[in-house]
Amino acid sequence: MDALGTIQFQVPTAYSWDYRPGKNNSGKDLFTLIVRPQVNEREWSRVEILVDATKGTARMAVAQPVDAKAIEVLRFEDPTAARVGPFALQTHNPGLFDEYKDITIELNPEIDDLITTK
């Protein structure tokens, strides 16, 4: 099973993939691309991902430069995906430039909204 059998949000470009068992496809009706962010992948971005494992939803916002207001770029919704599972970071392809820092995970946030877009 590839990528732990879960969904992928490629940061900061908002590409996505559904790696769940029986899928391994684009998840065309489950992911909604709101806007493809115009980012320089060799510059730092700020990315927020809000997941509700009880509903099977996830949302992603991106800001570049990092101190800019973020914009929501991608949504995922599938009630059949509603389950607790792993969270992972990966280098996807050879030649990609991936660095991560200042990662914060908040369990059960009081605000069910993307806070970096405000």
* Spatial CA neighbour of 54 closest among 10, 112, 4: 112
* All structural domains of the chain with their residue ranges: 2-84
HSE at residue 104, side-chain half, CA atoms within 13 A, is 9
Question: Could you report the per-residue pLDDT of 51-75, keeping only the tens digit for each?
Answer: 998 999 999 999 999 999 999 999 9
Q: How far apart are CA 12 and CA 4, in angstroms?
A: 21
Is-contact 92 10, C-beta < 8 A?
A: yes
Q: What's the chain's length in residues?
A: 118
**What average pLDDT does this structure show over 26-30?**
93
Question: Could you report the per-residue pLDDT of 93-115, keeping only the tens digit for each?
Answer: 777 778 899 999 999 899 899 99
